[in-house]
Amino acid sequence: MAGLFSRGAAAPVWVAEMEENRQRWFAFIEKLEARMDGLCTAALPELQQVLAEDEDAYKRTFLRMLAGIKGQLENIREKIREVGEEKVRDFFSCHIDEAWGSDDLRQRLYAFREVCTGRENAFEERHAAWLARLEKTGKRDLEAEYRSILDEHAALRDSFCCRQCGAPVVVDKLYFITSYLVCSHCRTQNTFEPGSKARGLEGLARELAEARTEHLLAASEAERQRDQDLYLKIHENRARAADSPATAASRKAQNEVWQKERAATVLNAHAAYETYLRAMFDEWNSIVPDLAEHNERFYQRMLEDYRRSR
């Protein structure tokens, strides 16, 4: 790199070190990314297999394996963070005072920090993408689980008889906890024990309701994203220097249009979220109608919390 120092002065020693740091930093992250990619590529099919074979109701074997893999990714992240602290951020802090006296040195030092931080950010994005894929291996087929609860319940319901007289006892709904049912023939109180799958109904219900209404939540998030995009467009428009009064006026007018769009988008996002919330609770109540009264109070609480926070 020629012509950096206007008076022909020799570059400080740390400039060479800075360039070496940059090269080594890129090579370092590249190697760690390769390890991360290798581990995750091998892990994905293994995780799916472990999940399929895990007979534990809480899938703890799968979860432990997933935790171990995530632990390795965290180990890699921590390595990058520690080296970045020393070789990029501390390096910058140590030399910025000295660099301040020279435009070239200052620009190079800032560029060094920016490009190294950019590389670290690219790693973080790659890490986040792998994390999302790993988490997805644990995605359950909630509808299938719900159907198996219904099937199990149907079998039990059709075979439940009075312990006293042997007559069939009507099981009028999907019980998920031990319940007392009275025989219509001899009035004996019978204890109905739900199946092991049905006992998990309350735990499954909310997740299933959320899954059934996730398209509504996505609609709300799409509006929020649109708001973010408009905000960035307005910001970029303001940041660019206008080459004439006409251009400045045109940009200002454009920004006003975008601001109005933002205001409408924000209202849409709020309305869409409240629509989602209501729909989710309606689904939840349809799965476990016995808890509807309690769920309605929970819904009110969530709605008030949301309105207070926006």
Partner 1 sequence: MFKKLLNSVLGGLEEVKDQVSRQVAPPAPASAPRYEPEPEPEAPEVEFDPETLHGTHYSIEEFDAAVEYKVQAWIAQEAAEGTTLGQKDVDNLYFNFRRDVYRAWTGADNDQMIQWELANSMLHRGTATSGFTKDDPESPLLQPIHGLSLKDYAAITLKISQGVDVGAICQAMGIEPAIWEECNVLWCKRMQEDASFTVQTLFGQYFSEGVSHPKLAALQAGGASAGNANLERLRSDRYFYEELCGARQAAYEYGLDGAQWILENFAISLGDFQAVAMEHLTLQNQNWNSEEMTRYMDYQQEKQKEYAAKFAAEQGGNIADDVTF
Structure tokens at 200: 């998990």
297 near partner 1, rule: CB under 8 A: yes
Count CB atoms within 10 A of the CB of residue 306. 13
By the rule CB under 8 A, 114 interacts with partner 1 = no
Burial class (CB in 10 A: 0-12, 13-18, 19+), 15: buried
| Least separation in angstroms between CB 38 and partner 1 | 6
Whole-number Å distance between alpha carbons of 190 and 256: 70
Which of 115, 123, 116, 119 has its CA nearest to residue 35?
Answer: 123
26 alpha carbon, distance to own chain's centre: 28
Nearest one of 193, 180, 153, 185 to 166, comparing CA atoms? 185
| Alpha-carbon span 154 to 39, nearest angstrom | 44
Q: Which lies closer to partner 1 via its Cβ, residue 220 or residue 295?
A: 295
User: Using CB under 8 A, which of 107, 178, 228, 247 touches partner 1?
Assistant: 178
Q: Which is nearer to partner 1, 118 or 203 (CB)?
A: 203
Residues 251, 239 contacting (CB under 8 angstroms): no
By the rule CB under 8 A, 14 interacts with partner 1: no
Interaction of residue 115 with partner 1, rule CB under 8 A: no
- Return the DSSP state at 165: T
With binding defined as CB under 8 A, does residue 291 bind partner 1? yes
Look up residue 41 and give its two tokens: 């590529």
* Nearest distance, CB of residue 12 and partner 1, angstroms: 19
Least CB distance to partner 1 at residue 116 (A):
12
Restricted to residues 158-177, the positions that interact with partner 1 (CB under 8 A) are 177
Q: Is 134 in the site for partner 1 (CB under 8 A)?
A: no
Cβ neighbour number for residue 202 with a 10 Å cutoff: 15
User: Does 308 engage in binding with partner 1 (CB under 8 A)?
Assistant: yes
Binding mask 69-88 for partner 1 (x = CB under 8 A): xxxx-xxx--x---x--xx-
Q: Which residues bind partner 1 (CB under 8 A)?
A: 24-25, 27-28, 31-32, 35-36, 38-39, 42-43, 46, 50, 60-61, 64-65, 67-72, 74-76, 79, 83, 86-87, 177-180, 191, 202, 291, 294-295, 297-298, 301, 304-305, 307-310
